[in-house]
Amino acid sequence: MKRIKALALTLAIVAAPAAFAAGSMDGMDMKPSAASQQAPRPVAAEIKKIDAKAGKVTLKHGPIENLGMSAMTMAFPVKDRASLTNFKEGESVSVTFDKVDGKPTVVDMQRK
């Protein structure tokens, strides 16, 4: 009888960590974040500054859902530097952002 109790206790001790680990995963969502699942969409923005030499544009923009960024004013690199010559400061634009080399980047910009 002592052997059966000892065996039951041993099995309970051995099984407990595995049961705990399996139970702790129940509430975890293993899907990629919402930001990484969303396709880039145009965002309304206003051009605050253009630095054609550096290939950057400072934009006051709305939320960028596909990057998980809230509305703010920030400088971004532009994928096509030459396109900056087509814009001027103060213009309202529609901008598409995506990550290029791991950095939030303007991949398309159109006048509104």
- Helix, strand, coil percent values for the chain (each to nearest 5): 30, 40, 30
Per-10-residue mean pLDDT, the chain, length 112? 67 62 49 61 97 97 96 97 96 97 96 92
How many structural domains comprise the chain?
A: 1
Instruction: Provide the whole-model pTM.
Output: 0.67
Considering the domain boundaries, does residue 3 fall inside one? no
**pLDDT for position 20:** 53
Contact 59, 112 (CB under 8 A): no
Considering the domain boundaries, does residue 102 fall inside one? yes
Considering the domain boundaries, does residue 7 fall inside one? no
Distance (Å, whole) CA 91 – CA 75 = 15
Considering the domain boundaries, does residue 60 fall inside one? yes
Considering the domain boundaries, does residue 94 fall inside one? yes
**pLDDT for position 24:** 47
The total number of residues shown for the chain amounts to: 112
CATH of the domain at 64: 2.40.50.320
Distance (Å, whole) CA 40 – CA 94 = 12
Contact 90, 47 (CB under 8 A): yes
Considering the domain boundaries, does residue 14 fall inside one? no
Q: Looking at residue 31, what DSSP letter applies?
A: S
Domain housing 56: 34-111
